Amino acid sequence: MRLLVTGGGTGGHVYPALSVVEAMREQGPSRREADPSRREADPSRREADPSRREQGPSRGDEVAWVGRADSLEQRIVAQEGLPFYPIAAGAMRGARGLGIARSLGALVWGFWQARAVVARFRPDAVLATGGYVSVPLVLAAWMRGVPTLIYLPDMEPGWAVKALALLAKRVAVSFESVAAYFPRRKVLVCGYPVRRALWRTTRDAARRALGLDGALPILLVLGGSSGAHSLNEAVRRGLEPLVQVAQVIHVSGPEDYPRLQSLREALAEERRCRYHLFPYLHERMTDALVAADLVVARAGAATLGEFPAVGLPAVLVPYPYAGQHQQVNAAYLADRGAAVVVADGELSERFPSVVIELLAAGERLRGMGAAARALAVPDAAGRIAGELRALAGQRSAS
């Protein structure tokens, strides 16, 4: 199967799609793709650039990503070794006046770029996970008769997903309550796809990999893909009492990292070794999630899948300028006993007291972890991968 993937802007749009690609690797090619005589009999499926044959995620499959140049998605996808096609895209949320005109112009230019990508790559299917960069590719694929599956990571669809769902053959959602936003005939309720390593990594192995002391509880602070200044400020102000009772893994994002690094160097040595600061974590993020006893984070879409997968209790601080998506995501976990929600405006006042209180309440923390794990769906990525193969097969048979 030849698959184009698109989605970007946040890690919550990128990592679920990479989890689906990973599931495709493990499944291996379908029977049709594994038959070399059938592939040779169809010259239209041959790749024009032979050097790219070895870059597919599994034998018989070829996968490439379409996203914005110099973007978060490009940096993450580069680490996975997938071919990347950059196109233009413009966000409409919050745009005014000339900003709207620029965004529309970027979308139009991105559409023509996406048309060229589709013509060159000749995909059998498209997987889109949202973000405005998805719009040009899904439209270009629809015009060429290429079926699209949209995966919605959030509890509510944004503008882009609502529009693209009209063109998609299938819409995959994590939860039954989200299905009502789309025509039922298109909906696949599958759970949230996460990396296989989250199911397979043990806590002891994760803590050893990060050089952590198992005698103290471990707090993970995540500011999202590019950091969150208010979370970083809360850590800066409350770091001394935190490192007295816990080890802190802090993913700050690059902007605040130098100042926080200076703060770390100023700590006494016995405290400094308890504060593990990173501008960003890539392959080590799995270890951080598995190792932690509690996480403080925004309430992006990834929280709905990754925290349940490892049974990780959470203090969620929804980003106040992300529409209602993060508020709804946080409420979903909090209503089921898996998280505590703190408003961004209350963070400086309530942090670190909320964190220290939870770390000391072992029975409550264990109950939150069990509530989180009860929400996990281990086979979500495999179900989406199977649905993509079915769509590709229907197109080939037509």
Stated length of the chain: 398
User: Confidence band (pLDDT; 50, 70, 90) for 50?
Assistant: very low
Domain count, the chain: 2
> What gap in Å lies between CA 117 and CA 143, rounded to an integer?
13
Quote the Cα angle for 131-226-221, to 5°.
120
Residues 227 and 160 in one domain: no
337 and 357 co-located in one domain: yes
Same domain, 345 and 220: yes
Q: Is the pLDDT of residue 32 over 50?
A: no
Answer yes or no: do 360 and 284 share one domain: yes
Give the tens place of pLDDT for each residue, 230-247: 999 999 999 999 999 999
* Model confidence pLDDT, tens digit, residues 151-200: 998 888 888 888 899 999 999 999 999 999 999 999 999 999 999 999 99
Q: Which domain holds residue 382?
A: 2-192+378-397
Query: What is the tens place of the pLDDT at every residue in 103-161?
Result: 788 889 999 999 999 999 999 999 999 888 999 999 999 999 999 999 998 888 888 88
Output phi, psi for 45, to 5 deg: -90, -5
Is 327 found in the same domain as 386?
no
Q: Where are the beta strands (DSSP E) in the chain?
A: 2-6, 62-67, 84-86, 125-128, 148-152, 170-173, 187-189, 218-222, 247-251, 275-278, 294-297, 314-316, 339-341
pLDDT of residue 323: 65
State the DSSP H helix or E strand holding residue 326, giving kind and residue range, or none if neither: helix 325-335
Residues 358 and 393 in one domain: no
Instruction: Give me 176's structure tokens.
Output: 């039954």
Instruction: Say how far apart CA 30 and CA 270 lie, in whole Å.
Output: 55
Q: Provide mean pLDDT across the span 267-275.
A: 93
d(CA 160, CA 76): 22
Buried b (16+ CB within 10 A) or exposed e, 330-345: bbbbbeebbbbbbebe
42 falls in which pLDDT band (50, 70, 90)?
A: very low
pLDDT for the residue numbered 54 = 38
Pairing of strands 170-173, 339-341: unpaired
> Could you tell me if residue 311 is left (phi over 0), alpha (psi between -120 and 50 degrees) or otherwise beta?
left
Does one domain contain both 159 and 32? Answer: yes
DSSP line for 213-242: -TTS-EEEEE--TT--HHHHHHHHHHHHHH
Phi/psi at 220 (5° precision):
-110, 125
Indicate whether 358 and 388 sit together in one domain: no
Give the CATH number of the domain where residue 136 resides. Answer: 3.40.50.2000
